[in-house]
Chains A and B, each alone.
Chain A
C-alpha cells in the first residue's frame, strides 16, 4: 500500500523547531493572505452570483428538498454511479483541522473542525464565499502553513521523488525576474534537476499550455491569462502527486477563463492527477469538479459535499443542461445563506 506523509498538529505551531525566522514569516503570510482576501473578492462574489442565477434559484429550491438543506441531502441525493471512494484509494484525508489567526482587532477562527477526503485522481472543488478559509485550507495542504489542530494526511507513492503537492497561485504567482521558461523550470531547479533536462521538461509543458515562442519573455510582457498559464505549466512540470489551485482564473475575463478551464481539464485528463481546486464561482466548480465541497464561513468548515454526476468531457454539446441547472440550484441553496451571513458580517 501507500506510505503516508502526514502533517499533524495538536498544539499551536509557535514552537518554532527548525528555523524561527522562516516559520514566523510563513505563518505571517498566511494571515495576510486571509486578511486581504475578503477585499479582493468581496464585491465580485455576490454580484456575479446574483446575475448568474437570477430567478431560477429560489423557484427550483422550493422544488427540491427545502428543509433538509444542510449537510446530508446533497451527497445522499447524488451518490450513485460516480462515488469512486470504493475502488480508488484515498489520497488526501483531513480530519478536525483548525486554524486561527490574529487580526488587528480579534482572534479569527479561519477554519474549525474541517474534515474531508479526496480520492486518488479526483478533481475536487472547494467552493465557498469570500473569507471562508478555503485558501487557508489550501495552504495547509501545501505545507505553507500548519494547522493549529487536527490532522492532514497526503498519501504519497512509494519510491518516488515527486513532490507531494504543487500550487497554482491566485495571481502574481510568477516571479517577475524570471523568464517564462525559468519560471516553469523553477521547481525542477529547486529539486536539483540539471539545466538541460529541466528546460526540456519545461518546454514540453510550455507547449502544452500554448506558450511556445514566449520562453524568453518576462512576465510583464504577458497578459494575465498567459501569466496564469505559466503558473499552471510550472505546477504540472513539477509532476506533483496532488495539484492545488487557488482561484487560478479569478481575475481573468470570462472568455479567457472559459478557455483556460478547458486547457486545465485536458491537462488533468492526460495526467490522471488528484486536484484540489478552490473557487467562489458555482458554475466553474460544477463544470470542472467531480465533487464539490461547499464551505461555510467563520469558522470555515465543509457544510455539504455535492457529487457532480455530469459525464465528461463536459463540452457544450455533451453537457446535460437540465442537470447542470439542478446542481447549480442545489449548491446555491446551501451557499446563499452563507453569502448572506458573510455580507451581513461586513
Chain B
C-alpha cells in the first residue's frame, strides 16, 4: 500500500513539477520582465478565478459552453459511430458515403458557420449543429477506418463459430473499432472546443468564448485569462478524459499500442 502511494505521489510530482516551475517563472517575471498588464501574475489570475467562480454570472457562461460542447459531441459522435460502422462494413454504402465524407472532411468547418447561419438562421440549434457536424465527420471517418482495419481472421473466427450478422457486429466489429472510436471522440472534443470558441466569439451572447471576446474589448485582461484557463481545463478534462475512459474500457489494448 505504502509503496503504491509513494509511486502515485512520485508520478504526480513529475507531472506537476513542470507546471510549478513554469508558474513560478511567470510569477517572478511578471512585472520586471513581462508587462503585467498583458501577463498578469498567476497568483492574481488564480485569485480572480476563485472570485469569478463564486459569482453566478461567470458560471452561467461556463454552463452555456458546457451544454453546447456536450450536446454537439453527443450528437456528432453517436451519428458518426452509426454511419461509420455501416459504411465500413458494407462496401456499397461505403462507396456512396465515402466521397461525401472525403470531400467534407478537409473543409475548414468554421467556414461553414456563416453559411449555415444564413441558410438556417442564427439559432442555438445551428451553433450546436455546426459543431456536431465537425465531430460527426471525424468520428465517422475514423470508425469506418477502424472497421476496415479489423483483421479478416477475426471475422472468420466469428463466422466459423456460428455468429450471425448481429453477433458479428456485437462480438467483433464493435469491440474491434472501439479504440478508434474513443480516440476519434477525443479528437472530436478538441475540434469541437475550437469551433465553440469561434462561434461564441462571433455569434453568441454567452459562453466562455464570448467572455474572452468581451474581456478583450473591455480590456479586462485577467478576466480573459480566467476564461482561457477555464476552457483549457475543460478541454483537458474532456479530451484526455475520453482517452482515459477508452483505455479503461478497452483493457485488451494495453501494451499493444506501446
| A/B touching: CB–CB < 8 A | yes
Residue B217 at the chain A interface, CB threshold 8 Å: no
Q: Does B159 lie within 8 Å of A177, measured CB to CB? A: no
Instruction: Collect the chain B residues with CB atoms within 8 Å of residue A21's CB.
Output: 89-92
With the chains together, A187 CA to B161 CA distance in Å?
A: 5
Q: B161 contacts A19, CB within 8 Å?
A: no
Interface positions, chain B 161-194, Cβ under 8 Å from A, are 161-163, 165, 167, 171-172, 175-176, 178
For residue B69, give the distance in angstroms from its CB to the closest CB of chain A.
29
- Looking at A25-33, A69-77, A291-299, the stretch in contact with chain B turns out to be A25-33
B163 touches A175 (CB 8 A): no
Task: Enumerate chain A residues within 8 angstroms of B162, measured Cβ to Cβ.
Answer: 163, 187, 190-191
Q: Are A220 and B160 in contact (CB under 8 A)?
A: no
In Å, the complex CA distance between A186 and B170 comes to 12
10 extra A-B contacts, CB within 8 A, seeds A173-B153, A190-B158, A219-B252: A22-B165, A25-B89, A144-B159, A166-B161, A169-B153, A173-B157, A175-B172, A176-B252, A177-B252, A187-B160
Residue A218 lies at the interface, judged by CB distance under 8 Å to chain B: yes
Considering the complex, which residues of chain B in the window 141-169 have a beta carbon less than 8 Å from any beta carbon of chain A? 151-163, 165, 167
Min Cβ gap A8→B in Å is 20
Name the residue on A nearest B90 (C-beta). A21
Number of interface residues of A (CB under 8 A): 37
In the complex the two chains form, what is the Cα distance from A163 to B161 in whole Å? Answer: 9
The residue of chain A having its C-beta at the shortest distance from the C-beta of B164 within the complex is A190
Give CA–CA (A249, B156) in the complex, Å: 18
Verify if B256 is at the interface (C-beta below 8 Å from A).
yes
Tell whether A176 pairs with B256 under 8 Å between CB atoms, given A21-B91, A29-B152: yes
Instruction: Provide the residues of chain B in CB contact with A33, threshold 8 Å.
Output: 152
Q: How far in angstroms is the closest Cβ of chain B from A263? A: 21
B161 lies within 8 A of A172 (CB):
no
26 contacts between A and B (CB under 8 A): A21-B89, A21-B90, A25-B155, A26-B156, A29-B155, A29-B156, A33-B152, A144-B156, A144-B159, A169-B153, A169-B157, A170-B153, A171-B153, A172-B153, A172-B154, A177-B175, A177-B178, A177-B250, A178-B252, A186-B157, A187-B160, A190-B161, A190-B162, A190-B171, A218-B251, A220-B254
Within 8 A of B (CB), among A172-213: 172-178, 186-187, 190-191
B255 on the A face (CB < 8 A)? yes
A271 interfacial contact with B, CB 8 Å: no
Q: Are A167 and B160 in contact (CB under 8 A)?
A: yes
**Which A residues have a C-beta under 8 Å from some C-beta of B?**
19, 21-22, 24-26, 29, 32-33, 139, 142-144, 163, 165-167, 169-178, 186-187, 190-191, 218-221, 234, 238
Chain A residues near B176: list those with CB within 8 A.
Answer: 177
Q: How far is the CA of A191 from the CA of B164 in the complex (A)?
A: 10
**Cβ contacts B86-106/A at 8 Å (1 or 0 each):** 000111100000000000000
B256 touches A142 (CB 8 A): no
Q: Across the interface, do B152 and A238 meet the contact criterion of CB distance under 8 Å?
A: no
CB distance from B183 to the nearest CB of A (A): 16
Does B91 contact A24, Cβ atoms closer than 8 Å?
Answer: yes
CB-nearest residue of chain B to A170: B153
> A41 → chain B, closest Cβ, in Å?
15
Q: Which of B92-128 contact A (CB under 8 A)?
A: 92
| Residue contact B172 to A220, C-beta cutoff 8 Å | no
User: Contact: A175 with B154, CB < 8 Å?
Assistant: yes
User: How far, in whole Å, are A225 and B256 apart by their CA atoms in the complex?
Assistant: 18
Query: In this complex, what residue of B is CB-closest to A139?
Result: B156
Are the C-beta atoms of B161 and A220 separated by less than 8 Å? no
Per the bound structure, the CA–CA distance linking A18 and B60 in Å amounts to 56
List of A residues within 8 angstroms of B165 by Cβ: 19, 22
Bound CA–CA A26/B159 (angstroms): 9
B161 touches A234 (CB 8 A): yes
- B250 → A minimal CB distance (Å): 7
By a CB distance below 8 angstroms, the chain A residues around B154 are 172, 175-176
A177 to B174, CA, bound (A): 10
Shortest distance between the CB of A185 and any CB in chain B (Å): 10
